[in-house]
Amino acid sequence: MRGIKYATLALLSLILAFVPFHLTGSPEGGRVQMLELKPQEFNPKIGKRGGVLRFILSGDPKTLNPALAQETTSTAAFSGVFSGLTRLNLKTMEVEPELASSWESKEGGRVWVFHLRKDVRWSDGKPFTADDVVFTFNRVYYNDNIPSSTRDILTVKGKKIKVEKLSDYTVRFTLPEPFAPFLNSVGVEILPKHKLERFVEEGKFTTAWNVNTDPKEIVGTGPYVIKEYVKGQRIVYERNPYYYRKDEEGNPLPYIPKRVGLIVSDPDTALLKFSNAQVDYIGLRAQDIQMIADLKNEHIKVYDLGSTPSTTFLVFNQNPKANIPEYKLKWFRNRLFRVAISHAIDREGICYLVYNGLAKPLYTPITEANRPYYEEGYYPKFEYDIAKAKSLLKEAGFEDRDKDGILEDPEGNDVRFTLLTNAGNKERETIGNIIKEDLRKLGIEVNFQPIDFNNLVSRLTAPPYEWEAIIIGLTGSRDPHFGRNVWHSSGQLHMWNPSQKEPSTAWEARVDSLIDRGAVEMNPDKRKRLYMEAFKIITLQQPMIFIATPKSLLAAYDKVANLFPTVWGWYEEDRLFLTK
Q: For 18-65, how does the pLDDT look when each residue is reduced to its tens digit (9 = 90+)?
A: 221 111 122 333 467 788 888 888 999 999 999 999 999 999 999 999
Q: What is the mean pLDDT of residues 93-115?
A: 95
Q: Pick from 317, 260, 283, 289: which is nearest to 467 by CA?
A: 317
Specify whether 243 is located in the same domain as 285.
yes
Specify whether 355 is located in the same domain as 498.
yes
Long-range (24+ apart) CB contacts under 8 A made by 109-113 are 109/175, 109/178, 109/179, 109/182, 109/522, 110/174, 110/175, 110/176, 110/177, 110/178, 111/172, 111/173, 111/174, 111/175, 112/172, 112/173, 112/175, 112/182, 113/166, 113/170, 113/171, 113/172, 113/173
Q: Could you please report the per-residue DSSP string of 186-238? A: TTSPP--HHHHHHHHHTT-GGGTT-TTS-GGG---SSSEEEEEEETTTEEEEE
How many folded domains does the chain comprise? 3
Specify whether 246 is located in the same domain as 300.
yes
Specify whether 497 is located in the same domain as 446.
yes
Q: Are strands 560-561 and 577-578 parallel, antiparallel or unpaired?
A: antiparallel
Cα(468)–Cα(457) distance, integer angstroms: 13
Specify whether 546 is located in the same domain as 558.
no
Specify whether 463 is located in the same domain as 321.
yes
How high is the pLDDT of residue 20?
19
Specify whether 534 is located in the same domain as 398.
yes
Q: Pick from 184, 185, 183: which is nearest to 151 by CA?
A: 185
Considering the entire predicted model, what is its pTM? 0.80
Of the given ranges (4-18, 207-221, 378-392, 503-517), which has the lowest mean pLDDT? 4-18
Specify whether 349 is located in the same domain as 461.
yes
Count CA atoms within 13 Å of residue 110 on its CB side.
Answer: 4
Task: For residue 545, give the CATH number of its domain.
Answer: 3.10.105.10
Please say which residue of 165, 200, 235 terminates a domain. 200
Q: What is the mean pLDDT of residues 151-180?
A: 94
Q: Is residue 527 in a domain? A: yes
Q: Is residue 503 in a domain? A: yes
Contact 554, 305 (CB under 8 A): yes
Contact 55, 339 (CB under 8 A): no
Specify whether 263 is located in the same domain as 324.
no
Three-state SS at 418: strand
Q: What is the mean pLDDT of residues 378-405?
A: 96
Residue 500: pLDDT band (50, 70, 90) is: very high
Please say which residue of 136, 170, 200 terminates a domain. 200
Give the range of the structural domain holding residue 264, as residue numbers without chain letter: 9-64+212-306+553-578
How high is the pLDDT of residue 3?
34
Which positions ≥6 away from 469 have C-beta within 8 Å? Answer: 314, 315, 316, 317, 332, 417, 418, 419, 420
Task: For residue 60, give the CATH number of its domain.
Answer: 3.40.190.10
Q: Using the predicted structure, report yes or no on whether residue 451 has a pLDDT greater than 70.
A: yes
What percentage of the chain exceeds 70 in pLDDT?
Answer: 95
Specify whether 433 is located in the same domain as 452.
yes
pLDDT digits (tens, 9 = 90+) for 260-278: 999 999 999 999 999 999 9
Specify whether 273 is located in the same domain as 227.
yes
Count CA atoms within 13 Å of residue 308 on its CB side.
Answer: 33
Specify whether 444 is located in the same domain as 514.
yes
- Omega before 464 cis (within 30°)? yes
Q: Is residue 399 in a domain? A: yes
Of the given ranges (37-51, 205-219, 530-544), which has the lowest mean pLDDT? 37-51
